[in-house]
A and B are shown apart, each in its own frame.
Chain A
Amino acid sequence: MLSIYYGLYKGENYIDNPDLYFDNTYEDAWLEDPHSKAMVKDIDKSELIGPNLVISPVLGSIPVSRLSGGVKTLIQIAHDPEHVYNASACGDNCAAWLLRIGKEKDVLVRLGHQMRFTEEPFDIRIENTGQVVHTRKELVTAVISQGLLEETL
């Protein structure tokens, strides 16, 4: 199931900048996974040829370090269970993929904004409270009414 921690996550295994972290830690095997290729195709509209090459319709041949921050984050969430990633690096066009990953395995991510999960019903566990929600209304109401995004540095 997809679990989301809203607000400032303070765990030692938290990665706040998954875009940068990916560039220095990705494993080739992650980029040979058909799911990763499908994510890159869907989000970046590009072809992930392999660990060293992406074909972008705009930028041409580029290294994987120039994939979008959103798709890098998705790939890490799907393949690296050791860390909690900041999913606010993902746009709303990544929401369906987060739910899809959550259907396959238990993952915990952090959000600092209200992502729009449009594919209802879903199973999302709000890590802050343990509440499991199934609709956008439930999710948004829970986050709002409990002030989960209120904390600041």
Chain B
Amino acid sequence: MKGQYDVVLYNNKVHYHLTIKRNITILRGDSASGKSEFIRLLAQYNGSPKSSGISLICDRECIVLNEGNWKLYLETYRERIFFIDEGNDFLRTKEFADAVKGADNYFVIISRENFPNLPYSVDEIYGLREGKYREAKRVYNEMYRIYGNLPDPQQKPEIVITEDSNSGNEFFENDDTYTLSFNVEASSRAYEAYAFNKATAGNNGYGEMEGSGYTASYAFTATESSDKKSFTNITSRYENGSLVYYIPAGKAELTTTAATVRGLMRSSDRCWLWERDGCSLGDACR
């Protein structure tokens, strides 16, 4: 299943317009923004399409998955768009993650939780908000990308830091950027690839990337010999299927030759590119 799909769902009170671009889309955001109401409407529509009073316009069938039907539906259906509300325990299971990876369907997941087993893109995390086309009788709800304001896609990193000397490192070695691998602390797991555009020492190593790429917050330190340097104003985006972090040019430049870089990066949204078996680097996580 490929391509993007518009999903329009409405009754006489609310009108939703979602555009689903990838196989996994995450919907989150403030409480009371209409996420669960969407699921409620769609479930009612699924149960009784003609007499529910609810209208659905989409080129693909849209179905709500729940604890009782998800296994059967994933085994049975192809080329559907499945919607899953928060509170379903199966969302966090490896069994579900494996089923998603092998499925020819799209999935829209409503949740704020971590799903480290699922390969979704930070670009496909959305919220719902009341749209500007408010009719007298009906409230129009539309999607907005939560982590926007990403760097120029043409920007090229000068240094790429990967978790170790395997997969990610090998991929970027073929690029003309400088690749540096590093070992992650025992407590750390997800580093994938970190790219630096003129690595810079800032005044502090803490920040939250409001509107610039990541939900969470990060603490990032680079240790160069005995001098600890910290970075700030980090932004991120996907490049070649990998989550890439940019540190803008500034006062000091990280020396790549003797550096031991230790990153502490945690977020509720991650791309697990290097954990996927047999994936194509070009389109992984997309």
Contacts and interface: CB of A to CB of B under 8 A. Distances in A.
Interface in B42-93: 86-87, 89, 92-93
Nearest to B220: A144
Interface centre among B93, B113, B215 (most CB of A within 10 A): B113
Interface string A42-74: 011100000000000011100000101111000
A112 B32 contact: no
24 contacts: A16-B89, A17-B87, A58-B14, A58-B139, A59-B13, A66-B37, A70-B30, A70-B32, A88-B112, A88-B113, A91-B28, A114-B215, A136-B208, A140-B208, A140-B217, A140-B219, A141-B219, A144-B216, A144-B217, A144-B264, A145-B266, A147-B188, A149-B268, A153-B92
B189 A140 contact: no
A89 interface: yes
Interface string B228-257: 000000000000000000000000000000
A94 B139 CA distance: 23
B187 interface: yes
Contacts of A100: none
Contact of B216 (A59, A69, A140, A145): A140
Contacts, number: 112
A114 B30 CA distance: 13
| Chain B facing A: main interface SS | loop
Interface residues of B, number: 39
Nearest to B29: A91
Interface in B201-236: 206, 208, 215-219
Contact of A150 (B33, B92, B219, B266): B266
Interface in A75-120: 88-94, 112-114, 116
Q: Lowest 3 A-B CB distances belong to which pairs?
A: A70-B31, A17-B87, A91-B30
A38 B33 CA distance: 18
B94 interface: yes
A145 B264 contact: yes
Given A136-B208, A140-B206, A144-B218, A91 B117 contact: no
Given A43-B32, A91-B33, A153-B93, A69 B14 contact: no
A112 B112 contact: yes
A128 interface: no
B215 A68 contact: no
Given A20-B87, A91-B112, A147 B36 contact: no
B27 to A, nearest CB: 11
Interface string A113-146: 1101000000000000000000011001101111
Contacts of B37: 59, 66
B114 A112 contact: yes
A45 B188 CA distance: 41
Contact of A58 (B13, B40, B93, B189): B13
A interface, size bucket: 35 or more
B77 to A, nearest CB: 24
A18 to B, nearest CB: 8
Contacts of B114: 112-113, 149, 152
A100 B215 CA distance: 24
Interface centre among B14, B87, B215, B264 (most CB of A within 10 A): B87
A65 to B, nearest CB: 10
Nearest to A60: B13
Nearest to B216: A114
Contacts of A137: 206
B109 interface: no
Nearest to B266: A144
Given A88-B111, A150-B116, A152-B114, 15 more contacts: A17-B86, A19-B87, A44-B31, A58-B139, A69-B31, A92-B30, A113-B113, A113-B268, A114-B215, A114-B216, A141-B219, A144-B216, A144-B264, A144-B266, A145-B219
B112 A143 contact: no
B133 to A, nearest CB: 15
